[in-house]
Structure 1
Amino acid sequence: MPIRTTTVADWFSEHLDSISEDCRLTPCTVEHQECVENGGTYSCLCATGYYFVVSGTEDRCRESLTYEAELTIVDIGGVPQIFTAEMSDPGSEVFERSASVVRVALNEHFEASSLSRRYKGVKITAFRDGSVIVRFDVYLSQGPASVSAVTGAFYGNLQGDTFGSSQVTVEPSSFRVFDVVEDNLTSPWYDEPLYLTLVCAGCAVTLTAIIVTLICCYAKRSGQQKKRNEVDIVHPELPLTERQLNSKNKLVFVDPPMD
């Protein structure tokens, strides 16, 4: 059986696409993007709390609407959940394992809810005692939203007291949603490229108008002065104007010598 040999050139040719897309070699250029491992590949994705949009011809990571929520978990897959000290430490393996299961279940639940078109993910922020109470942030795309809309989306898709493929059982009455953390229904004016362009154009037009006005005023005054000078030269016999008389009548009086 012949042995297939691979040269360095062949290897680069076969893997060129994956190399060019590997953000470990080509850093992310969009603000608020992070290099994330996803299924064995590394690609640039918007950071937690941001979602990808195209504004004109520009790729952007736009800030999400964020709602804080909490929920009491009774059991997962039939296994009763008991709070432990490790669950209060976000850096612990127990926290990450529990957060991963709950995050997947919440993603499945909200993606099938009335907010599915605007749902942009969830972040588990804390666990605390009380069976197990999970605290998390719900991210939505920008637009009209409310606490009641998030609450309705959760209950509207809840079958009994269990949700998600991992069968997370909760106390339905324990679900609470708090006020929006950052209520930005529209992006700040300084974050919109089109707005900045219009502001710059407006400033340029205003400055040009001021310069033209000053030039016209200067030219008009120069023309009037030139005409007055021409009249004085060509027609010296014409009577002096009141202003000219006043200026010429400013005589310097010198006391006569004393005898």
Structure 2
Amino acid sequence: MSPFGRAFADGDRLEVAGAVVTLRVHRRARRVSLRLDRTRREIVATAPTPRRLAEAAAFARERAAWIAERLAELPDSSPIHPGMTLQVFGEPVRLEQGTGRAKWLAAADGQPAVISAMGEGEGYARAVILMIRRRALAVLGERTEVYAAMLGAQMPKVTIMDAKARWGSCRAGPRGAPGSIRYSWRLALAPFEVADYVAAHECAHLLELNHGPRFWAHVNALVGDERPHRAWLRAEGARLHAFGRG
């Protein structure tokens, strides 16, 4: 029975075994099913038609033990605090308590880079993330400029986001104007080579807004075999998305 006082609808969210369960209709689905969305840290219950959403909700409740097991497999959330050492584009960065505005201190004399920020709890975390976002914009912007030039494409507008489903996205510009590329700031928490692959991937979309053979030929020409980088993101993406959410 629906707890909403009406029939279940696509996008309704329930709680089962401490997890968020989102109901979805997928016309090509042949049966009711459950899957774990590791990035969003939630369960998706899929039904072939709206009429079977109640069946999908009931199936999720029946599989409460399975849901609890899948949640236990997810990496713990990572609260941000002074004393932590992060890997930013594969290089160590130490977090310190500071005064005044948050700042990034470059590595020097064999010591790692430092993010110095004031405050505590969520305020401290926001300041640290702001520094990482700025670093992400600088590095990914520079790599975008390099790859756009290699492809003979106009330099796109580059921005940073915190999407839960994509590491990057590319839009063509209107009537020959420069396009735009958005990157997840969490790519800064990945090895440089992995983030660099995403930059090459999105730049290849400046020429090919698809994933056809010519698109992958551009990517391979820029960074070689992309498969290890894609595999890394599949394996470690949930950990990157857990960072700072505790």
TM-score range (shorter-chain normalised) is under 0.3
TM-score, scaled to structure 1: 0.23
Bigger Rg over Cα:
1
TM-score, scaled to structure 2: 0.24
